[in-house]
């Protein structure tokens, strides 16, 4: 039998800088022949969501087998070339860590053996009550194998207080606070769940006689699956031999939801539909509104690839200033945000983006990007344009200034990291060495999306849709309990 790995090729991943960083991408299938190959294709479409580690777990109905490792998806596959993962049921994960460090035991899906058999878990999000739950289990004698918040669900499922009672999974999910989209696997079923506020996206697709779950619809398209609908906030969807069924694990949320608005601004691929909206179309609207709110004379508009592309097109159309490609992206450099420190990240930017001198020389350049977080990457980009001969450099950002931390899956938990936290746009411009910096207003942002009251805008406004719990650094669980993990 030929290994499914032998049919794949290593392909370089996309690249980004020190901007917002999001936790993970998850993908699962039920009753889909050659599940491992389908999961590989789905995860490849989600590689932009996490490049620190990847894993695939497959069941043949009796046995669960897995491969996982640190690095890009195809690097992990290459390291396990020849391994066979037979079965039609499986889940997969690509990781960027927002809780727990980049070490092998933190790579998902997690596979554990409970009293009633094997379980596998893949998680996208950030639990705000993870530290308290973890400490309570450790005090009771539980042993944790990872330093991620994702493992909390495993302990809840294994706890006799939940394992021996009806609606076991629903009861366990109800104990968790914060943001999560989960995929769970047993030898004979796949389950999918979203937190009550719906922070992270999770879609359901149909492929032949089987079902597919994915963080973004672009992964459904990649595998040929038909998008049916999204998993609803507070919903648990179970697929097994009896079919597909749904239940809820919480009371309906009163008031607005907490869908992460950065999914539309930055995280999701432009060919995805997220929270019922076309990502490309939303970003076009943001760019058009930005041109109205932050107009500046210029000769050309250039996007920062890739998530600035749609907004730059909208800005160009609304302003009448021609769109040019002033940056060329090296597709074989991974997202620089996965590098461990700012020196490595800034060094990676030079490899990732190159300026086209003939495009920008002697021009008043308007650079459109989705966000500025720390500002170090933006400064290097501005310097690159000036070195290439740009006459003026004006940065235009298709979201408001990021002034507050995120506790729900974006890795900027401290205001100290945020360049706009205590700076005006003019001061940010001075920091990044641009002639000017202009942001979209919060009013402009909300006017560009449908159902704006269903989104979390805490990173802009400092007001969050739920309790943020005990604020902690991403490595806080490394040292929980009495010693380091």
> Per residue in 422-461, pLDDT tens?
999 999 999 999 999 999 999 999 999 999 999 999 999 9
In 3D, which of 41, 49, 164, 154 has the Cα closest to residue 97? 49
**H-assigned helices in 53-164:** 73-79, 130-139, 151-158, 160-163
Look at residue 338 and tell me whether its pLDDT is greater than 50: no
Look at residue 327 and tell me whether its pLDDT is greater than 90: yes
Distance CA 398, CA 288 (A): 9
Residue 185 — pLDDT band, cuts 50, 70, 90? very high
Q: Which helix (H) or strand (E) holds 427?
A: helix 425-432
What pLDDT, on the 0 to 100 scale, is given for residue 15?
A: 35
Beta bridge partners of 355: 327
Lookup result for tokens 């607005």: 256
Residue 23 — pLDDT band, cuts 50, 70, 90? low
Structure confidence by residue, pLDDT tens digits, 144-158: 999 889 999 999 999
- Across the range 372-376, mean pLDDT stands at 94
Structure confidence by residue, pLDDT tens digits, 243-282: 999 999 998 887 789 999 999 999 999 999 999 999 999 9
Residues 183/214, Cβ–Cβ less than 8 Å: no
Lookup result for tokens 């493992």: 151
Of 188-192, 409-413, 428-432, least confident by mean pLDDT is 409-413
Residues 136/154, Cβ–Cβ less than 8 Å: no
Look at residue 211 and tell me whether its pLDDT is greater than 90: yes
- Across the range 318-322, mean pLDDT stands at 98
- Across the range 63-82, mean pLDDT stands at 94
Distance CA 161, CA 46 (A): 36
Q: Would you state the structure tokens that stand for residue 406, as one six-digit string?
A: 């995120």
Residues 375/419, Cβ–Cβ less than 8 Å: yes
Radius of gyration of the chain (CA): 22
Residue 332 — pLDDT band, cuts 50, 70, 90? low
* Burial status of residue 152 (CB atoms within 10 A of its CB: 0-12, 13-18, 19 or more): buried
The percentage of residues in the chain with a pLDDT greater than 90, rounded to a whole number, is 77
Of 336-340, 345-349, 428-432, least confident by mean pLDDT is 336-340
Give Cα 17 distance to the centre of its chain: 14
C-alpha distance across the termini of the chain, in Å: 40
Look at residue 471 and tell me whether its pLDDT is greater than 80: no
Look at residue 216 and tell me whether its pLDDT is greater than 80: yes
250 annotated active-site: no
Structure confidence by residue, pLDDT tens digits, 2-20: 344 433 332 233 333 445 4
What pLDDT, on the 0 to 100 scale, is given for residue 337?
A: 41
Look at residue 227 and tell me whether its pLDDT is greater than 70: yes
Look at residue 51 and tell me whether its pLDDT is greater than 60: yes
What pLDDT, on the 0 to 100 scale, is given for residue 82?
A: 86
The DSSP call for residue 154 is H
Distance CA 84, CA 2 (A): 8
Residues 45/221, Cβ–Cβ less than 8 Å: yes
* CA distance to 100, 248, 485, per residue, from 55 (Å): 16, 28, 21
Look at residue 341 and tell me whether its pLDDT is greater than 60: no
What pLDDT, on the 0 to 100 scale, is given for residue 430?
A: 98
What three-state secondary structure class fits 410? strand
pTM of the model: 0.89
In 3D, which of 175, 173, 188 has the Cα closest to residue 231? 173
Look at residue 102 and tell me whether its pLDDT is greater than 60: no
Distance CA 401, CA 230 (A): 30
Residues 183/190, Cβ–Cβ less than 8 Å: yes
Look at residue 1 and tell me whether its pLDDT is greater than 60: no
Lookup result for tokens 């690839």: 305
When the pLDDT of each residue in the chain is averaged and rounded to a whole number, the result is: 88
What pLDDT, on the 0 to 100 scale, is given for residue 49?
A: 94
Cα diameter, the chain? 72
Lookup result for tokens 């308007």: 366
What three-state secondary structure class fits 248? strand
228 φ, ψ to 5°?
-90, -55
Q: What domains appear along the chain, each with residue ranges and CATH number?
A: 4-267 (3.60.20.10), 274-461 (3.40.50.2020)
Residue 221 — pLDDT band, cuts 50, 70, 90? very high
Catalytic hit among 24, 406, 456, 459: 24
Beta strands, E only, 231-342: 235-240, 243-248, 259-260, 273-274, 277-278, 300-303, 327-329
What pLDDT, on the 0 to 100 scale, is given for residue 352?
A: 79
Look at residue 44 and tell me whether its pLDDT is greater than 60: yes
Distance CA 61, CA 59 (A): 5
């Amino acid at each position: 039998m030929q290994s499914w790995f032998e049919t794949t090729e290593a392909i370089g991943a996309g690249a980004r800088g020190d901007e917002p960083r999001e936790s993970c991408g998850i993908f699962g299938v039920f009753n889909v022949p050659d599940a491992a190959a389908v999961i590989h294709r789905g995860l490849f479409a989600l590689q932009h969501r996490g490049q620190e580690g990847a894993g695939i777990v497959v069941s043949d109905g009796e046995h669960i087998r897995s491969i996982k490792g640190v690095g890009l998806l195809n690097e992990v596959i290459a390291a396990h070339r020849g391994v066979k993962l037979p079965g039609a049921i499986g889940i997969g994960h690509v990781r960027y860590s927002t809780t727990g460090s980049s070490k092998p035991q933190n790579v998902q899906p997690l596979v554990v053996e409970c009293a009633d058999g094997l379980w596998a878990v893949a998680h996208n999000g950030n639990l705000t009550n993870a530290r308290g739950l973890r400490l309570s289990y450790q005090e009771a004698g539980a042993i944790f194998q990872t330093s991620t918040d994702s493992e909390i669900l495993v302990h809840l499922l294994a706890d006799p207080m939940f394992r021996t009672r009806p609606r076991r999974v629903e009861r366990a999910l109800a104990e968790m606070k914060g943001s999560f989209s989960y995929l769970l696997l047993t030898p004979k079923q796949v389950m999918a769940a979203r937190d009550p506020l719906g922070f992270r996206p999770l879609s359901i697709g149909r492929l032949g006689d089987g079902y597919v779950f994915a963080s973004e619809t672009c992964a459904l398209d990649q595998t040929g699956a038909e998008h049916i609908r999204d998993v609803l906030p507070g919903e648990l969807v179970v697929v097994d031999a009896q079919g597909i069924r749904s239940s809820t694990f919480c009371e309906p949320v009163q008031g607005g939801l907490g869908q992460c608005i950065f999914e539309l601004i930055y995280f999701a691929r432009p060919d995805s539909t997220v929270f019922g909206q076309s990502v490309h179309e939303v970003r076009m609207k943001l760019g058009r509104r930005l041109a109205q709110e932050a107009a500046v004379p210029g000769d050309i508009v250039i996007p920062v690839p890739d998530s600035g592309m749609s907004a730059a097109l909208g800005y160009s159309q609304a302003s009448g200033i021609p769109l040019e490609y002033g940056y060329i992206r090296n597709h074989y450099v991974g997202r620089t945000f996965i590098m461990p420190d700012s020196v490595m990240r800034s060094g990676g930017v030079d490899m990732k983006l190159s300026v086209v001198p003939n495009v920008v020389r002697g021009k008043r350049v308007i650079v459109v990007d989705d966000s500025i977080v720390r500002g170090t990457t933006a400064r290097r980009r501005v310097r690159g344009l000036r070195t290439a001969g740009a006459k003026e450099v004006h940065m235009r950002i298709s979201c408001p200034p990021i002034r507050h931390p995120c506790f729900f899956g974006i890795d900027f938990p401290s205001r100290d990291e945020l360049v706009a936290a205590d700076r005006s746009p003019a001061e940010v411009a001075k920091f990044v060495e641009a002639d000017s910096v202009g942001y979209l207003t919060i009013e402009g942002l909300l006017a560009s999306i449908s159902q704006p009251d269903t989104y979390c805008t805490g990173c802009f406004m400092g007001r969050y849709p739920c309790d943020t719990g005990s604020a902690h650094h991403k490595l806080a669980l490394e040292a929980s309990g009495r010693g380091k993990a």
